[in-house]
Amino acid sequence: MGDSMSFVTPDWHAAMQDVSAEIDQRFGERLRIVPAHTVPNQSPTYYPAEAIEILGVFRWPTKDVNLRMEEMKVVSRDPTATFSRTNLPWAIKRGDQITRCCDGSMFEVTAVRPDGVSRIECDLLQLGIPHQ
């Protein structure tokens, strides 16, 4: 096997954390995360005093959406943010608020899932008027 990384190597998870850190360095931007407490049928309660700023990768890919049996097509965007698991001081959860430091656009986390290796991915819903 030589020096190549193997999936059975005990240091595999550590190596994947290094990859995740490299992703943040190359593609990341400063994101502010404000934790929230959510209760069904009520607005979230935010805790701005506990907010953190960390590097994360924000994506806003476009997709085509068909309306009324393909008679009309519209373009939609599904914003997401990913974070290195080791950089998060708490588990991000639905209702938390994420702000892009570069332009101030704010989003609410609607779903959270691990990528299966080293990152946490969050689906986002934009709050307020779109900046892009």
Q: Is the pLDDT of residue 121 over 90?
A: yes
Cα distances (Å, whole numbers) of residue 21 to 45, 52, 70, 114 = 31, 17, 42, 16
Query: Terminal CA-to-CA distance of the chain, rounded, Å?
Result: 48
Angle at 101 between CA 19 and CA 80, to 5 degrees: 55
Q: Select from 126, 128, 114 the least CA-distant residue to 20.
A: 114
- Check residue 57 and give its pLDDT: 95
- Check residue 115 and give its pLDDT: 85
The pTM for the full model equals 0.79
- Check residue 1 and give its pLDDT: 44
CA–CA distance, 112 with 7 (Å, rounded to integer): 26
Q: What are 46-80's pLDDT values in tens digits?
A: 999 999 999 999 998 887 777 766 677 777 788 99
- Check residue 59 and give its pLDDT: 93
CA–CA distance, 37 with 121 (Å, rounded to integer): 19
Q: What are 71-87's pLDDT values in tens digits?
A: 777 777 889 999 998 88
* Tokens linked to 59: 């994506």
Compute the average pLDDT of residues 20-35: 93
The answer for residues whose C-beta is within 8 angstroms of residue 122's C-beta and 6 or more apart is 80, 81, 82, 83, 92, 96, 98, 109, 110, 111, 112
H/E stretch holding 80 = strand 80-84
